[in-house]
Amino acid sequence: MAHLYFTRHGQTFWNVENKICGATDIGLTELGHSQAKELGEKILQQEIHIDEILYSPLSRAADTAKHISQITGIPMREEKRLTEQNFGKYEGTSPRNAPEFQKAKTNFICSYEGGETMLHLCQRVYNLLDDINERNDGKTYLLVAHNGISRVIESYFHDMTNEEFAKFGIRNCELKKYWWVE
């Protein structure tokens, strides 16, 4: 059965500061670089078969993908549809778990005063996933992106309530596997 993998980028400076990153381009910490390299080693050691890495153009995801690619030899290419959601007025604010922001994330048509709605985010990520599935090229992909993208991908493959969707997230450089339903 066909499948794909997803990982969130390594730790960023704003992760440490508990700030909302969104579409703001924030770099990896030293730990973030190490996490990415460790994931590359894990993929190599566990002989996880991946044909190509698709990554978000934001530097935190691009650098994570580069480390993985350098260690594993897996080719990589940028995929703009994996860019993190723009959280508008919340970008760069903290804490990420503030009640106002958590409530705003459950309103799927809110653009966060200048950002991107959850519906628009889901549309572009679902379109990417549909394209990969319909391509049916036999390749196994690793998508390297962001926590917001992780919740969209999770919702594509599994039913979720609005609250589950808003709260879903994965750790930096956690590797998740998803199967296409045939």
- pLDDT tens string 85-113: 999 999 999 888 899 998 888 889 999 99
DSSP secondary-structure letter at 52? Answer: E
Is residue 115 within 8 Å of residue 89, measured between CB atoms? yes
Higher per-residue pLDDT: 97 or 155: 155
30 carries an active-site annotation: no
Q: How many CA atoms lie within 13 A of 55 on its CB side?
A: 26
Only one residue has tokens 């381009």, namely 25
pLDDT of residue 19: 94
9 carries an active-site annotation: yes
Which residue is catalytic, options 9, 79, 91, 116?
9
Q: Rounded mean pLDDT of 35-59?
A: 98
Only one residue has tokens 């594509």, namely 156
Note the pTM of the prediction, 2 decimals. Answer: 0.95
Give the Å distances, CA to CA, from 79 to 21, 65, 83: 19, 12, 8
Which residue is catalytic, options 79, 84, 91, 154?
84
pLDDT of residue 138: 87
